[in-house]
């Protein structure tokens, strides 16, 4: 995102964890994102 129009669009951060684990390892990151009013989602890729 480099132009001004893109900077004003809502953003959701998606964190993907692989290697046969679930997304709970991202809980600290999700908490910090939420504290900054940035929506975040964690998911596992199997």
Q: pLDDT tier at 1 (50, 70, 90 boundaries)?
A: very low
Phi and psi torsions of 7, nearest 5°:
-65, -20
Total count of domains within the chain: 1
Q: Which residues of 1-40 are buried (b: 16+ CB within 10 A; e: fewer)?
A: eeeeeeeeeeeeeeeebeeeeeeeebeeebeebeeeeeeb
Share of the chain above pLDDT 70, in %: 74
Entry pTM? 0.61
3-state SS string over 4-35? HHHHCCCCCEEEEECCCCCHHHHHHHHHHHHH
Residue 22 has pLDDT above 50, yes or no: yes
Domain coverage including residue 18: 4-44
Say what the pLDDT of residue 26 is.
Answer: 85
């Amino acid at each position: 995102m480099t132009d001004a129009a893109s900077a004003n669009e809502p953003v959701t951060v998606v964190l993907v964890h692989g290697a046969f684990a679930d997304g709970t390892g991202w809980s600290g990151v999700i908490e910090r994102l939420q504290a900054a009013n940035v929506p975040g989602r964690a998911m596992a890729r199997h």
